[in-house]
Structure 1
């Protein structure tokens, strides 16, 4: 970490103020453009005015610094505005997906005990005070609230894990978490103040919030976000029309885009990918179509992305890339990826879960639960979650390795692999797929034999309507395994 970050961590600090600082030097520059069928924009001056006006409106509800605010907002610019407004005055926002059903919202509310819920009309909410999005819109013109400065170690926001490790948990992050994000500027993004970064995700997705909004604003760059209901087939045209210099999306979006026609995108320098492992075939197809690379990153709800490839240091083939400059990363004894507890992007802990927090540490190292392997020059290869690793005849097999081979041999489908128990003492590798076409299993096994050792080739192929994913778009392989075993039984 450089001296500037150390200085900021030692002073009274506010994450929202930090995000807005660079924009004050260029108040008339566009901070945000909503592109597509519903064009809309905000300059940096208008963005800060809206955030601080809404902050005043939130405090007028009688809540005080430290209180939690549950965000139940649809895909709208009000989402990041409310998020930063809450942080600016010491409130603790809890962003959630609008896709959650009533029971899920009530479960979250029982954990975080929100003092206020901010909600779009018709979205499920829990009991307690509710402020509607229509009321928030009017608050943007209110007098600016003062920033609540304080210890950078105090809570700033809460996010919920995707549930890939079992039960979703409330993760508490500090104000200083934004300082760790600067390590991504060179270590992943190649981000510059003159960039126009188009993120394909919705406003209310944490990947969009960080990579698509907060990080460009922190450096004074412009964020481009597609309007509601913008299809993947429209994104190539939007990249060209709005002179996007960097594009960010989940791997599945890249895959869908590659089915569309591409206009020339002369301003585009490269793409960014996170959320799940990017198949090599998708990366290669994108390069062939656009002439630009995709740089991938690894992170999790508990810690912002900290391993990645970048324009300055591309990832070797088959790896995620390198620990970003300033990050202290190692592989624990069994290959578990671990990051040191002093990392500024690491969570404060799980809400009301000191035992659960302590269980994730081995001495001074936070254990991610993901397995990796390190190359001689320090690049990290991702091999899946520790509980996703498959066993074939006593040999460990990474689901990611098998999925990459399947994507190469049958790119029309989406693939996920898991070990399923066919008898009490026998497990085999199953490949689950969704797509328009049924596969020829015998022909596919023949193609795979050129890519994988025989023991790694799936024994079972299972068509599914769609692959289950968590709130952070990560594959939930455990759900596939559980559903298959519940249907087929173990005899």
Structure 2
């Protein structure tokens, strides 16, 4: 039997989303026993477990928070800005708001009052919930401000049932890091949790008896999905940690909490290898690690497997769709590639530019274009909040354009080539920074690297910003020779700058715009 799908499109096998759908009900209604642990809270470098929440505890608390929110009499879909740290309070308020038919907005505790003022004004949030751990907006824009005592009242309110929301109703908003100069809200529907099902098998191999420890903060979509929605939707246990987490303590944390899955960004895995005592005998129940948020360098992938004896599975995603490309237990890793389109996703590589039928046809294997996700995917965002023109700009016929460039090889593995807006121009050729970075990162003296196009007068050159390994000398000639063996002449950096660290967004991605020569 032959596959009639185009070469760069995975066949769609997802069941239709139920018309009536509440994200909180779906995540807490896995059918697992009410006494089973849903959430473990650990603290201290030794990983002492200080809170254990059963599924019955979580559902009861979420119902009380929903009842407390319902008492405010807000309209369906009213926004609620969350200023809550990485504690057990966060998921209770987040899911409680959704259960009540409201739309929470998780935000990083690192945001300033100025940034919060912009988000509050843009979202039109009617309530701001703060636990006292981080800054609050200084311009309330008519929003009701709730503090720690109000949170306690929410947790003690009379319980309410799950709101009868529809699959396409607004569930929550997440705001991008605002590198363009202003925040941009990504609006997600209730159905987003249904759309996450492909990654449970393709990326994690997630089972009901798993304990998933996510190193990120709850405000990040990577953590919200992989750390909460997905484990709870199958009846697994989520683990969160309070307070400081020294890098060298991670092996102990994983052992004491008996984590079977660990999710983090590549830079944390690199630091664990560098500073912690890691051997194949450590964290014996851990099956494998998960990584996303930035590209996984092949050398780091190799070093982690050598040191731990555990596989590391990568995924590619974004706030608008979450992860949709991954390796996993059923998709062997191929270092340098984040994997294949997850089963159930319709993913295509489209021409970089154009309109009409020709621009909507997937490119053959080996050709570089923009990654696109079919608009029928239930995990796809509703759109950018109050930005219809920007939403329309990322749509092309039946496809959502991610803005990421890549090609698929003959075996269906995707090879990422950077953001379309990060593309460099060298002697008239388009050059993807990731391709250059992958080559330079293979040098043993390089700990981290980012490249961008910089200008000096009328001259534009590719510049490499390099973080060296401890004790390594800044030898430009050696790096140039290494690059010459890996890259065509026009792709090689013409300037080299040695830095202590690379600027990154709150989610760990390199902020190339902040790199200056």
TM-score normalized by the length of structure 2: 0.88
Is 2:379 the partner of 1:345?
Answer: yes
Counterparts of 1:465 and 1:53, CA distance in 2: 48
Query: Pairwise mapping of residues 234-383 of structure 1 onto structure 2 (< 5 A)?
Result: 234-259=249-274, 260-262=276-278, 264-334=282-352, 335-383=369-417
Query: Pairwise mapping of residues 13-162 of structure 1 onto structure 2 (< 5 A)?
Result: 13-22=21-30, 24-37=31-44, 39-121=50-132, 122-125=134-137, 126-127=139-140, 128-162=143-177
Counterpart position of 2:8: none
Contact 2:222 2:322 in 1 (8 A): no
Counterparts of 2:233 and 2:456, CA distance in 1: 52
Change (3 A) 1:258 1:371: same
CA shift, 1:68, in A, is: 0.5
Counterparts of 2:464 and 2:27, CA distance in 1: 43
Change (3 A) 1:237 1:301: same
Counterparts of 1:184 and 1:98, CA distance in 2: 28
CA shift, 1:354, in A, is: 1.2
Counterparts of 2:90 and 2:444, CA distance in 1: 38
Contact 1:373 1:380 in 2 (8 A): yes
Is 2:209 the partner of 1:194?
Answer: yes
Name which of structure 1's ranges 35-44 and 357-366 shifts more when overlaid on structure 2. Answer: 35-44
- Deviation track 1:74-94 (CA, whole Å, cap 9, x = no partner) reads 221211211111111110111
State how many pairs are aligned.
Answer: 477
Contact 2:203 2:327 in 1 (8 A): yes
Counterparts of 2:13 and 2:426, CA distance in 1: 46
Contact 1:315 1:379 in 2 (8 A): no
- Equivalent of 1:205 in 220, 224, 230: 220
Name which of structure 1's ranges 218-227 and 61-70 shifts more when overlaid on structure 2. Answer: 61-70
Contact 1:414 1:433 in 2 (8 A): yes
RMSD: 1.9
Counterparts of 2:442 and 2:312, CA distance in 1: 17
CA shift, 1:138, in A, is: 4.5
CA shift, 1:449, in A, is: 3.2
- Deviation track 1:336-390 (CA, whole Å, cap 9, x = no partner) reads 0001111101111111111111111111111111100110122211000011122
Give the secondary structure class of the aligned counterpart of 2:118.
helix
- Deviation track 1:416-469 (CA, whole Å, cap 9, x = no partner) reads 111112232x32111113466662222222333333334333222223453222
Give the secondary structure class of the aligned counterpart of 2:442.
helix
Unmatched runs of 5 consecutive residues or more in structure 2: 1-11, 353-368
CA shift, 1:261, in A, is: 0.7
Counterparts of 1:45 and 1:216, CA distance in 2: 15
Contact 1:33 1:225 in 2 (8 A): yes
- Equivalent of 2:421 in 387, 390, 404: 387
Is 2:438 the partner of 1:430?
Answer: no
- Deviation track 1:160-188 (CA, whole Å, cap 9, x = no partner) reads 12345665411111101110111111121
Counterparts of 2:416 and 2:182, CA distance in 1: 23
- Deviation track 1:113-139 (CA, whole Å, cap 9, x = no partner) reads 110000121522241311113431343
Give the secondary structure class of the aligned counterpart of 1:381.
strand
Counterparts of 1:370 and 1:414, CA distance in 2: 21
Contact 1:321 1:380 in 2 (8 A): yes
